[in-house]
Amino acid sequence: MPEMRTWESMRARIRAQLERQSGHDTETWKNRIAARAMSDEATLRTWLAEEGVRGYPQTLLVRETFGYPDFLLASADELVDAQYADRPGLRPVFDAVVATVSGFGHADVQARKTYVSLLTPKRTFAVAQATTRTRLDLGLRLAAVEPHGRLLPARSVGNDAITLRFALATADDVDDECLAWLRRAYDESC
């Protein structure tokens, strides 16, 4: 089974990035923010940008100050369970995709609120998204491939890097054709 990335591991990486970029750890930043008594997110983001803190480190400090959404505090298993709670027929489809990816080499699974990213050490190569109660979209990051046959355009699946998708209704839909394209997306992202 691929490693399940958690918010805590991502938070640790962002904390290290913040310290590398700014020379100060998260606790130092939290103390500086508390001393300024910032009352809203916009003011805090403006001040952090002026201090050279942007991107993920800025978002981390905003959340450390004003709180985390519930989905970021949930475990990966809780997020996946919630995605399939009202569509139990799709859980075997998701499990078949993840089981296949585990044979590809180093691949991680990162659960998000509404979908699950499949990642190489370099980047996301696929996403599994329970789009309807009866369809899981397996979004793929593929370069220079046009939609054809079962390979459909990926509108609103995962993130912008996902270009194509397979519409899967049963575990049997995770067939040789689907797996070959999934493997190609993995290989292109290594």
pLDDT digits (tens, 9 = 90+) for 161-175: 899 999 999 999 999
H helices present in the chain, as ranges: 7-22, 26-36, 41-50, 55-66, 70-73, 76-84, 91-101, 176-188
Distance set, CA 113 to CA 17, 47, 108 (Å): 24, 29, 16
Instruction: State mean pLDDT over 4-29.
Output: 87
**105: helix, coil or strand?**
coil
Q: What is the pTM of this model?
A: 0.73
Q: How confident is the model at residue 1 (pLDDT cuts 50, 70, 90)?
A: low
| Confidence check: pLDDT of 97 > 90 | yes
Dist CA 99 CA 2 (whole Å)? 8
Q: What is the pLDDT of residue 10?
A: 78
